[in-house]
Amino acid sequence: MKILREYVWDTVRKNKRTSLAIIIALFLMTTLMSCVCGFFYTMWTDGIRMSKWENGDWHGELFDNTSGKDLEHIKNYASVSAVMIKGNWEVARLEETGKRSYLISRGANDEYWNSMPEKDIILQGQRPRKENEIALSKQYFDNHPDIKIGDTLTLPIGKRMLEGKVRVETEGFHEDETFRQTGTKTYTIVGEMDMTTSSSVPAYTGIGYLDENSIQPEDEITVYLRFDPMRSTYKELPALAASIGYEKDEYGNYNLRYNSELLSKYAIFSNQQLSAMNQLSALAFPLMILVIAIMLVALFVLVIHNAFALSATEKLAQLGTLAGIGASPRQIKSAVISEALILTILPLPLGIVSGWLLDMKLFQIINANNDIGRTAPDIVLSFGLPAILPAILLSLLTVWLSALIPARKIAKLLPVEALKQDYRIKKKRLRKSHITSRLGITGELAANAVSARKHSYRTATISLCLSFLLLTGFLYIFSTQNAAQNIYQTGMDDIRHIQFNISDGRTPDMEVLEKIKQIPEVTRATIFNKLPCATWITDQNASEDIETYFGGFDDIAARKKYSTIERDGRYRISTTLIGLEEDSFRDYCSQLGIDPEPYFTDPSRAIFYNYTEDPDVSTRKKSVLRELLSLRTGQELTFTERAYDEDTGDFNFNLTVGALAEKLPDIGLNTSRFTLTAIMPMDHILEIGASCSDKRK
């Protein structure tokens, strides 16, 4: 109806004061909407950027041995969009002797350097771009202060040997190993990297450049992949592994690795992840954003709709006239809403820009304090269409709802009622309040005004309540995070203040450990080691709890979620042997109320902790324990060092159940589910380890 359109534009031009007030309210609303949308979008993109900065921009890794001959097939695989490659390890012998007598390095192709975190840990220099260039760990520069970037090293290269066999380049220290030289290579040092090598490996680490054309068919390479579409990663990577001849492990899975943290940022989860969490937890963050958006819209609707109601009330006579000459209620309602949308044209772009400027200032303040709890690069504001479009939609939704409330009321009025404009306050007797009367004439006037216009003040009251609800909601989110950390913390501070691990491939020097215990400020010290192994049992060894609550080990193995597997009617139970130093073992026995002496004299005697957490009913706050095996004192069990199929050792040994413990030693040990634990003196575990393979030793 042309007359209605002309009427709308005419009222906007004539009612400048009312229109200006509405425009200001809409500008503030769109500014906040834009700021909130930009904030959440930036936090999401920053989470993705942080994940790539820490772990790299990859989706899946072929974690098993991959040959160079498979590279062409991998690169041509339909869904693979990028291939990041690390080549063979190369060992060079250093002139120095001692714990770090080797330099181990491997090359990486351009895509790897561009996508992985190594490029961000170069402290000085640059990344390698030629095959003879290398970036070394800062450990090498710390121990060789005369070496500078740009220097060259000419070193013998070859193999680490032990008893006539080639050792893996990254294996731990062994006093009897030798070096077999196969050639000489000159390295040009181009960078220093913020990385370290474990004390158990007698080498410094470096990364060079890999020319893909130099990869030989027999070379073993490490391959990281990106897929397009990314959502197909959990489906395509196993299919690719099968196509190049990977073999499944004892659990029926290929040896693959996924960048789960990055994939989860895009709401991409594996079937195992989805089964481990309920749908509500998976949707927790989107639901939180949705609730905040609804509350923001509701708050501004309650505030802004009063301005539209006032504007519409001022034009009741005109709207009544239009209704009297034939305008339908729908057209009346459309006229009021159209006026609101017209008034949004100017404040909407201004509010979007203002929200962007507010976000810029906010993240400038955050980045200025970036050294507090964050070591990553500064947060980069992301304010593209994913932030602008939701801000526009939420703003338009708020305006539409705000105008719809008075529009519906006015559209229901008869023309005669609208023309009367009888919106005066009805006279009624006001009751005198004994409380406000004590405040004098000012208190009585205020109380009478509130009582007379209680319907008008209802909106203000609801708006204030929603404002406080939003504020307390944000505070509640932070409070619950802090509470969760306190409730679900592991209690390590109660167990220890300092922990250090010795892993240099040698038998621990007990004299040094004894000196540490004698430091005056040390009130308590627990020294222990661990040895993973396994035992094979039958259904007859299952406890009543396993049969009652899980249907036996057969059902547990069928879940394919735990270490338990079934072969020929027998079940492999993962086991952890804990060796406590003499004083620590005596303290543990004292807590249990048992005599420790028999365990020192009999190297096959151990204390067994025969409980496992029930995954079906346990929560983060409360752990429900079930008995694992049907054990009795004096029973003998056979164990093997081959805890997994890929282990090479086959040493078997027997242990006798000396006692059944109700608790583990206070060492902060978290064992996996359906794992048996045995505790014994450390010396006895060292004796067992001496008969195991080098890796297990």
Asked whether residue 329 falls in the same domain as residue 186, the answer is no
Burial of 108 per CB tally in 10 Å (0-12, 13-18, 19+)? buried
Two tokens, residue 580? 């406590």
- Inside any domain, residue 481: no
Between helix 284-314 and helix 454-487 the angle, nearest 10°, is 170
Asked whether residue 109 falls in the same domain as residue 128, the answer is yes
Give the span between the Cα atoms of 157 and 104, in whole angstroms.
Answer: 10
- Give the pLDDT band (50/70/90) at residue 426: very low
Two tokens, residue 286? 């989107």
- Give the pLDDT band (50/70/90) at residue 422: very low
The share of the chain scoring above pLDDT 70, in percent, equals 78
Asked whether residue 207 falls in the same domain as residue 65, the answer is yes
Contacts of 284 (CB under 8 A, 6+ apart): none
| Of 261 and 447, the one with more pLDDT | 261
- pLDDT of residue 441 exceeding 80, the answer is no
Asked whether residue 540 falls in the same domain as residue 581, the answer is yes
Instruction: State which of 216, 242, 276 marks the end of a domain.
Output: 276
Each residue's pLDDT tens digit, 613-636:
988 888 777 788 999 999 999 999
- Inside any domain, residue 434: no
Burial of 207 per CB tally in 10 Å (0-12, 13-18, 19+)? buried
Q: How many CB atoms lie within 10 A of CB 126?
A: 12
- Inside any domain, residue 538: yes
Each residue's pLDDT tens digit, 631-643:
999 999 999 999 8
Asked whether residue 254 falls in the same domain as residue 324, the answer is no
pLDDT mean across residues, the chain: 82
Domain of 401 in residue numbering reads as 2-51+285-423
Asked whether residue 241 falls in the same domain as residue 357, the answer is no
Asked whether residue 67 falls in the same domain as residue 40, the answer is no
Each residue's pLDDT tens digit, 18-65:
677 778 888 888 898 899 899 889 988 988 999 999 899 999 999 878
Asked whether residue 89 falls in the same domain as residue 9, the answer is no
Q: Given this model, what pLDDT does residue 239 score?
A: 94
Count of domains forming the chain? 3
Give the span between the Cα atoms of 418 and 319, in whole angstroms.
Answer: 7
Q: Bridge partners of 580?
A: 528, 681
Each residue's pLDDT tens digit, 518-577:
888 888 888 899 999 999 999 888 999 998 888 888 889 888 888 899 888 899 999 999
The DSSP symbol for 119 reads G
Q: Given this model, what pLDDT does residue 476 score?
A: 76
Three-state DSSP state, 63: strand
Instruction: State which of 384, 404, 423 marks the end of a domain.
Output: 423
Tell me the mean pLDDT in the region 235-260: 89
Q: Is this prediction's pTM over 0.85?
A: no
Q: How many CB atoms lie within 10 A of CB 36?
A: 21
Tell me the mean pLDDT in the region 76-94: 93
Give the span between the Cα atoms of 169 and 666, in whole angstroms.
Answer: 36
Q: Residue 61: how many CA atoms within 13 Å on its side-chain side?
A: 19
Give the span between the Cα atoms of 188 and 208, in whole angstroms.
Answer: 10
- Inside any domain, residue 590: yes
Would you put residue 22 in left (φ > 0), alpha (ψ -120 to 50) or beta? alpha
Q: Given this model, what pLDDT does residue 272 score?
A: 75
- Inside any domain, residue 695: no
The DSSP symbol for 616 reads T
Phi/psi at 356 (nearest 5 deg)?
A: -65, -45
Q: Given this model, what pLDDT does residue 258 score?
A: 94
Asked whether residue 532 falls in the same domain as residue 679, the answer is yes
Each residue's pLDDT tens digit, 180-226:
999 999 999 999 999 988 877 889 999 999 999 999 998 899 999 99
Asked whether residue 122 falls in the same domain as residue 90, the answer is yes
- Give the pLDDT band (50/70/90) at residue 681: very high
Each residue's pLDDT tens digit, 298-336:
777 777 766 666 666 655 555 555 555 555 666 666 766
| Of 370 and 354, the one with more pLDDT | 354
| Of 645 and 576, the one with more pLDDT | 576
Instruction: State which of 244, 276, 308 marks the end of a domain.
Output: 276
- Inside any domain, residue 442: no
- Inside any domain, residue 489: no
- pLDDT of residue 13 exceeding 50, the answer is yes
Asked whether residue 675 falls in the same domain as residue 652, the answer is yes
Q: Given this model, what pLDDT does residue 270 score?
A: 84
Asked whether residue 550 falls in the same domain as residue 679, the answer is yes
- Inside any domain, residue 366: yes
